[in-house]
């Protein structure tokens, strides 16, 4: 069950409100790199977590922290919109060039939300929950989580670089720090489970005879005019310790030509397809 405290997890200050930065911050709320995504992803992974119950607790605990991050970002957006113009006259008065064209802001911060945060990204596109990755496979889920936190820290760093507001920089340095930890937190679960050597290939419970293993360890170079790039992926022992890497260059197709013949009666095709001349 969830509970709430009235204060924010970390202080959020804005020195000089900036409606354009409000729009950029939205990416950290409703973007695929954002906090709604990780909150919901950890939440749904927790609800389906089978196996070691410590993982479920960890998922739910961190989901709860991410909810507090949405809350801080939402407040940051509202603070950046304080005093934004709501009429053409006011806009033109403030700055004849920039504000008259809405200053690069999200127009729906004016029209739809009444100067506050929305669950949308920096293009104004609403977050959709298909981005909540929860497979029921713990290693796949942990990787999805590291990926999400990597994207999150890339984004927070870009926002930090863009703004010159001291309050915002301080707040973003906190988010950067927490993303640092969360990246490692999920990788540490894989480490605890024996590391990639034991967890690969995912799922590691698929029996080997379900797999055409002769196709499992070569790099396929489909480029017609270039050699395969050499690297850790093209020779040496495989990361799961089961085999050796190799390269297959400019492969010829091994399958058949995929012809389907004539169309079925009453299937909605043209006559010529049902009874092809050729």
**Restricting to residues 3-32, which ones interact with a second copy according to CB under 8 A?**
3-12, 20, 23-24, 27, 30-32
Tokens 């796949």 belong to which residue?
140
CB of 24 to a second copy, least distance (A): 6
**Who contacts 26 (Cβ-Cβ below 8 Å, separation ≥6)?**
77, 106, 117, 118, 120, 121, 122, 124
Distance between start and end Cα atoms, the chain = 67
Residue 241 binds a second copy, judged by CB under 8 A: no
Minimum distance from residue 232 beta carbon to a second copy (Å): 4
Residue 247 interacts with a second copy (CB under 8 A): yes or no: no
Nearer to a second copy, 12 or 38 (CB): 12
Q: Which of 15, 17, 71, 167 binds a second copy (CB under 8 A)?
A: 71
User: Is there binding between residue 167 and a second copy (CB under 8 A)?
Assistant: no
Q: Does residue number 197 form part of the binding site for a second copy (CB under 8 A)?
A: no
Name the phi and psi angles at 218, rounded to 5.
-110, 145
What are the residues whose beta carbons fall under 8 Å from the beta carbon of 13, sequence distance 6 or more? 79, 167, 170, 171
Q: Find the binder of a second copy among 16, 166, 180, 244 (CB under 8 A).
A: 180
Q: Footprint of a second copy on residues 132-151 (CB under 8 A)?
A: 132-140, 143-144, 146-147, 150-151
In this structure, the number of other CB atoms found within 10 A of the CB of residue 98 comes to 14
What would you measure as the largest C-alpha separation in the chain, in angstroms? 76
Instruction: Write down the least CB distance from residue 277 to a second copy, Å.
Output: 7
Using CB under 8 A, which of 16, 93, 244, 262 touches a second copy?
A: 262
What burial class does residue 151 get, using C-beta atoms within 10 Å of its C-beta: 0-12 exposed, 13-18 middle, 19+ buried?
middle
Residues 33-62 that bind a second copy (CB under 8 A): 33, 36, 40, 43-44, 47-58, 60-62
User: Shortest Cβ distance from residue 186 to a second copy (Å)?
Assistant: 8
Which one among 16, 93, 128, 166 touches a second copy, defined by CB under 8 A?
Answer: 128
In the complex, what is the shortest distance from the CB of residue 38 to a second copy, in angstroms, rounded to a whole number? 13
Min dist CB 77 to a second copy, Å, is 8
* Nearest-angstrom CA–CA distance, 10 and 85: 29
Q: What region does 136 belong to: left with phi over 0, alpha with psi -120 to 50, or beta?
A: left
* Beta carbon nearer to a second copy, 38 or 172: 172
| Residues 79 and 70: beta-carbon distance below 8 Å | no
Confirm if 80 and 28 have CB atoms less than 8 A apart. no
* Residues 81-120, mask of contacts with a second copy (x by CB under 8 A): -xx--xxxx-------xx-xxxxx-xxx-xxxxxxxxxxx
Dist CA 165 CA 22 (whole Å): 12
Among 35, 38, 42, 74, binds a second copy (CB under 8 A): 74
Q: Are strands 218-221 and 246-249 parallel, antiparallel or unpaired?
A: parallel
């Amino acid at each position: 069950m969830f509970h709430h405290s009235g204060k924010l997890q970390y202080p959020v200050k804005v020195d000089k409100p900036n409606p354009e930065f409000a729009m950029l911050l939205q990416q950290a709320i409703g973007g695929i790199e954002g906090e709604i995504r990780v909150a919901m992803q950890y939440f749904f992974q927790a609800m389906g977590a089978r196996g070691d119950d410590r993982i479920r607790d960890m998922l739910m605990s961190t989901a709860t922290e991410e909810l507090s991050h949405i809350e801080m970002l939402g407040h940051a957006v509202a603070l950046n919109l304080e005093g934004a113009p709501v009429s053409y006259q006011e806009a033109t008065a403030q700055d004849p060039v920039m504000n008259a064209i809405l200053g690069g802001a999200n127009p729906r911060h004016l029209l739809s939300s009444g100067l506050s945060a929305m669950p949308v990204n920096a293009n104004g596109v609403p977050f959709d929950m298909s981005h909540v990755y929860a497979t029921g496979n713990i290693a796949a889920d942990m990787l999805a989580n590291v990926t999400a936190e990597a994207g999150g820290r890339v984004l927070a760093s870009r926002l930090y670089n863009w703004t010159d507001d001291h309050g915002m920089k301080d707040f973003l340095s906190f988010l950067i720090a927490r993303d640092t930890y969360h990246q490692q937190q999920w990788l540490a679960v894989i480490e605890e489970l024996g590391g990639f050597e034991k967890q690969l290939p995912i799922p590691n419970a698929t029996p080997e005879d379900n797999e055409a293993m002769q196709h499992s360890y070569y790099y396929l170079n489909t480029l017609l005019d270039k050699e395969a790039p050499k690297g850790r992926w093209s020779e040496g022992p495989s990361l799961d310790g089961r085999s050796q890497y190799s390269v297959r260059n400019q492969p010829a197709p091994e399958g058949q030509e995929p012809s389907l013949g004539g169309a079925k009666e009453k299937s909605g095709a043209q006559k010529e397809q049902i009874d092809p001349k050729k």
